[in-house]
Structure 1
Amino acid sequence: MGKKDRCKKKGKGAEKTASKTDKKLKQKNKKELAAIGEDDIENIVAQIELEEKKQQEVVEIIVSPPSSRANFSLTAHPDKEELILLGGEYFNGQKTFLYSDLYFYNIPRNEWIRMKAPGGPPPRCSHQTVALSAGKGQLWVFGGEYASPTQSQFYHYNDLWVYHVSMKKWEKISASGGPSSRSGHRMVYIKKQLIVFGGFHDNLRDYKYFNDVYAFNLENYTWKRIEPTGTPPAPRSGCVMVALPNGKVLIYGGYSKEKIKRDVDKGVIHTDMFLLTPEKNDISGLKWKWVAVKQSGARISARCGMSVAVAPGNKAYAFGGVWDIEDSENDLAGTFYNDLLTLDFDKTLWRTVTLSGKKDSGKQRRRRKEKNELPNDVENDDSDNILNEMDTLELQDAVSDNGTEEVAAVPSASNAVVSDDGIFKVTVSSVTSVSTSQQNVEGSSEARQAFSPSPRMNCGLVVKHSILYLYGGLIEEGDKQFTLSDFYSLDLHKLDEWKTLIPNDLTSQEWLESDSSSDANEEDSGSDGDSESDEEQTQMVVDEIQQ
């Protein structure tokens, strides 16, 4: 009894010490925030949500395209010819801007509509959305994060919202037992449930990555934690998560950090694949198991920040991403990609996608001429076969002796420095011709290089009626970050060339050096009058990215 009491007393003492430490940290943070004129982030978020509740009327206006942003959500409208864009963030070197705006892109009219509806969620990025046809159209939103302008504070959400499209109204769902606050998680719809996996939480003092699974029942509006059997994926954020037609959920890749020593972390890019499989004869929807999956096909470079969109034909398309190389404990150099990939769900097989490029009108004229010169007694079908055989003989000249084809526009593992003036350097994946087995290449059999959007990470990627749409994202080098607002489409039936809907224009984007960076640059440059200004260096990089 006495021993138990002593243990209990010791526990109370430990709790008291932890409480004092937490109180001291809060007081210290409060002083630091007061020094920079910033309120506590929880108060900021609460005030924003309070202001949103005061909104009474719906404001719906045609506007110019959204401003540059990253880590937003881009979702296909379940019933209409529209795309839905929500939130995101923009960083100009000194301040972070978070958005809560809701846009609808009308595809036939090539028109952006900004919707301001009553009682919406506060600004956020790195959240997840799912669009459903239920209730005449719903957009479900979970989690994400908010950052103070100076990035001295971060707030992670664990709130669940639904936007009722037909009523043009937001609703905050109050349901206990859901996932903890997080961002970088993934969410899909399957079997009348929203399934949430992974993500991370970072308060600048400590961080945690998750591999837990939760299900939100859309019939009774309740959360349940799922405890799958089998060996789960390691905790991660930013992974690929896809709901398959057979009722399974596919997980691929992602990113996490691990502590090497005190105040030193190491980033880990995951390349493994798992299936979250429902147990047989389960009617509750809560019994699942993890199954590791062997991947096949093209060898995909390890990366994070790759965007994925599900397409018809039981496949998905993936674009871009970045491979971070740690130059030192504090510095990262990134290799950015702009390759287009496809994943066959049935075979868990990766393929690189080679676009055919614009049709050669000269070749079409030559083909018609050759067809006209064939003997009159040759039937149409026979003439087509003859011409196809002639084309095949021409194509064989471009194929190597070992049966592989030279495929253009596939990023190699090497780096191409597109701008290096000794001070600021941007590195992207080099685009070279590599020998690739034809069975792992989707698209044209002709080795022709076609236009592709510039390398980037965390872009918006979505498919609507067999058209792939790509919006925004970012590319960075060290502390400098270029946030994009360009917009493209690709016909997945033709796989010929990306169509530019909004060009890549970075000339109006500002970049402000932080005070610490400015001081360091002044020390390095000294009195050298020949040094180029920061604006000139940045412009050089912008020009290279836009080419």
Structure 2
Amino acid sequence: MGKKGKKEKKGRGAEKAAAKMEKKVSKLLNASLFTHPEKDQLILFGGEYFNGQKTFLYNELYVYNIRKDSWTKVEIPNPPPRRCAHQAVVVPQGGGQLWIFGGEFASPDGEQFYHYKDLWVLHLATKTWEQVRSPGGPSGQSGHRMVAWKRQLILFGGFHESTRDYIYYNDVYAFNLDTFTWSKLSPSGTGPTPRSGCRMTVTPQGSSSIYGGYSKQSVRKDVGRGTQHSDMFLLKAEKGREGKWSWTRINPSGAKPTPRSGFSVAVAPKHQVLLFGGVCEEEEEESLEGDLLNDLHFYGPVRNRWFTEQLKGTQEPLEVVREVVSEDGTVVTIKQVLAAQGMAGQLESDDDDSPEEAGVAPGEPSPRSNATLTVKHGRLYLYGGMFEAGDRQVTLSDLYCLDLHKMEEWTEWLEETDSDEDSEEAEGAGGGGEEAKEDSGEEGGEEHPSVAPGELFTDCLPRTEQHWLRCAQDDIEPGAPERRVLRAAQALAQAFYDGSA
């Protein structure tokens, strides 16, 4: 009887694991993350995943329930084709509508790609997709930016690339949400140069603010040179002159971000604009080098000023969860308990001379580009993006949250902590006999071996290697090559040693 019960329990565990995998969120960059206008939900759509050899595009829709702290994959018939680098805007009418324009598709080998010029709306109340066909809109493009302004969608910039050449745009289009018609705007004044990947937000005064972006120019055949822009403009609708718009260049004060591309943007309470991460690139004709960033900047449109804020740290011992990337690109997680004083000290020491010299404080998101960012109820949510491990590009699937009112610490969501089903299963198991003890194994939260004072890593690793091998095996899919597990274990050991030293 005991053995049969054990097999049944393992069967239930396998079913639960399969259910988790079915709704597990993909590793993504260049996706869109936005908040539901009426519910405590975040909605994630599209994006791409690069595994080091091939690129995969998605059109899945995931919903994160903030109160339940859980992800759910939502199946809705007839979605838009798979894409990334599109734009998505939510408007409140009709119980909430998600509008999506453009983006790009690429074949797994990256040899073929296509830029979309289609417009879609997801009716959140009825959970139905609709393609809106309207002539006179922008050409096929990706990397553009779009905001909701009154009863219109305002679209700026973007780029289009073919096998022969590439082109960047600085056109402005408006889509009327009442008449479902496109119109091309012709603002007066000097506006931004053509670019993609800029920041576009609506100010309290009703203007659209454009900051930064990226563009590339050909210097000779098959050789281009990129530019990371750091200028800022306002696009204003002129009072009393319907359909008339104007550009104005502005020069904010304060602690400005370093020029970068691939940064993420969200609008916080009181209309403050948040800018996170990105990559600061130094480009030569034959090479490209860059430093990924994880800094957070604020822009106040009322005072036209950039500023930063220091995280205060927590007053209680903190369980830190970090993603560790081994040499072969395997991403594993490590948990570590830090005293509040040590945490605050590491946060304060992050204010160094340059991003490459400043370490990542425990619990902070790793440096990344092309992540998604949104704000709900005064909390900033960050998902995914691209991280570099040596020469490898690693696509991430982590979700972080920062309370913008407290400004204490980043917290990370992990699938393993969403344990309502685990608790029910534990209560149902009962008995507490020898088999229950055997099955519980290491689930009870085995403590990591401590690092002795003055102990070198070369001495610590042999002493603790078996522990880290068990941790790596728990975090990597079954059947992974032994060499991969070993590298992941060594990366975990190194990360824990560095955090304890």
Give your verdict on TM over 0.5. yes
Map 1:17-416 onto structure 2 (within 5 A): 64-282=23-241, 284=242, 286-326=243-283, 328-359=284-315, 408-410=349-351, 412-413=353-354, 415-416=356-357
- Could you say which residue in structure 2 is the equivalent of 1:475? 387
SS in 1 for 2:351: strand
- Could you say which residue in structure 2 is the equivalent of 1:424? none
Q: Structure 1's 63 and 106: CA in aligned 2 closer, same or farther, altered over 3 A?
A: farther
Are 2:44 and 2:62, in contact at CA under 8 Å, matched by a contact in 1? Answer: yes
Displacement, 1:413? 2.7
Q: Structure 1's 156 and 542: CA in aligned 2 closer, same or farther, altered over 3 A?
A: farther
Measure, in 2, the Cα distance between the counterparts of 1:142 and 1:415.
36
Q: Structure 1's 335 and 544: CA in aligned 2 closer, same or farther, altered over 3 A?
A: farther
Displacement, 1:154? 0.9
The one-letter amino acid paired with 2:40 is: E
Displacement, 1:317? 1.5
Displacement, 1:262? 1.4
- Could you say which residue in structure 1 is the equivalent of 2:376? 464
Q: Structure 1's 131 and 112: CA in aligned 2 closer, same or farther, altered over 3 A?
A: same
SS in 2 for 1:195: strand
Measure, in 2, the Cα distance between the counterparts of 1:241 and 1:543.
42
Displacement, 1:302? 1.2
Percent identity between the two aligned chains: 48
The one-letter amino acid paired with 2:193 is: A
CA-to-aligned-CA distance 1:438-472 (integer Å, 9 cap, x gap) = xxxxxxxxxxx774211111111100010111111
Q: Structure 1's 219 and 116: CA in aligned 2 closer, same or farther, altered over 3 A?
A: same
Q: Structure 1's 414 and 125: CA in aligned 2 closer, same or farther, altered over 3 A?
A: closer
Measure, in 2, the Cα distance between the counterparts of 1:536 and 1:206.
45
Measure, in 2, the Cα distance between the counterparts of 1:294 and 1:106.
39
Q: Structure 1's 143 and 412: CA in aligned 2 closer, same or farther, altered over 3 A?
A: farther
SS in 1 for 2:139: coil
Are 1:103 and 1:114, in contact at CA under 8 Å, matched by a contact in 2? Answer: yes
Measure, in 2, the Cα distance between the counterparts of 1:168 and 1:110.
21
Measure, in 2, the Cα distance between the counterparts of 1:159 and 1:275.
27
SS in 2 for 1:353: coil
CA-to-aligned-CA distance 1:287-314 (integer Å, 9 cap, x gap) = 1111001111113211111111101112
Are 1:324 and 1:334, in contact at CA under 8 Å, matched by a contact in 2? Answer: yes
Measure, in 2, the Cα distance between the counterparts of 1:154 and 1:147.
4
CA-to-aligned-CA distance 1:168-207 (integer Å, 9 cap, x gap) = 1100000000001000000000020000100111113210
Q: Structure 1's 344 and 281: CA in aligned 2 closer, same or farther, altered over 3 A?
A: same
Displacement, 1:230? 0.4
Are 1:337 and 1:455, in contact at CA under 8 Å, matched by a contact in 2? Answer: yes
Are 1:251 and 1:274, in contact at CA under 8 Å, matched by a contact in 2? Answer: yes
CA-to-aligned-CA distance 1:267-290 (integer Å, 9 cap, x gap) = 1000000000111213x3x31111
CA-to-aligned-CA distance 1:34-92 (integer Å, 9 cap, x gap) = xxxxxxxxxxxxxxxxxxxxxxxxxx999543121110000011111000100110111
Are 1:325 and 1:333, in contact at CA under 8 Å, matched by a contact in 2? Answer: yes
SS in 2 for 1:488: strand
Q: Structure 1's 346 and 200: CA in aligned 2 closer, same or farther, altered over 3 A?
A: same
The runs of 5 or more residues in structure 2 that have no matched partner are 1-18, 318-346, 417-470, 478-482
Measure, in 2, the Cα distance between the counterparts of 1:231 and 1:112.
45
Measure, in 1, the Cα distance between the counterparts of 2:77 and 2:20.
15
Displacement, 1:338? 0.9
The one-letter amino acid paired with 1:409 is: D
Moved segments of 4+, more than 4 Å? 60-63, 503-509, 533-547
The one-letter amino acid paired with 2:354 is: A
Displacement, 1:330? 3.8
Q: Structure 1's 233 and 350: CA in aligned 2 closer, same or farther, altered over 3 A?
A: same
CA-to-aligned-CA distance 1:318-343 (integer Å, 9 cap, x gap) = 211111123x5343221111111111
The one-letter amino acid paired with 1:270 is: H
Q: RMSD between aligned alpha carbons?
A: 2.9
The one-letter amino acid paired with 1:115 is: V
The one-letter amino acid paired with 2:142 is: S
Measure, in 1, the Cα distance between the counterparts of 2:299 and 2:140.
31
The one-letter amino acid paired with 1:176 is: P
Measure, in 1, the Cα distance between the counterparts of 2:296 and 2:158.
25
CA-to-aligned-CA distance 1:422-444 (integer Å, 9 cap, x gap) = xxxxxxxx249xxxxxxxxxxxx
SS in 2 for 1:313: helix
Are 1:210 and 1:236, in contact at CA under 8 Å, matched by a contact in 2? Answer: yes
Are 1:333 and 1:477, in contact at CA under 8 Å, matched by a contact in 2? Answer: no
Q: From the CA coordinates, give the structure whose radius of gyration is larger.
A: 1
SS in 2 for 1:135: helix
Q: Structure 1's 535 and 224: CA in aligned 2 closer, same or farther, altered over 3 A?
A: farther
The runs of 5 or more residues in structure 1 that have no matched partner are 1-59, 362-405, 417-429, 433-448, 510-532
Are 1:62 and 1:111, in contact at CA under 8 Å, matched by a contact in 2? Answer: no
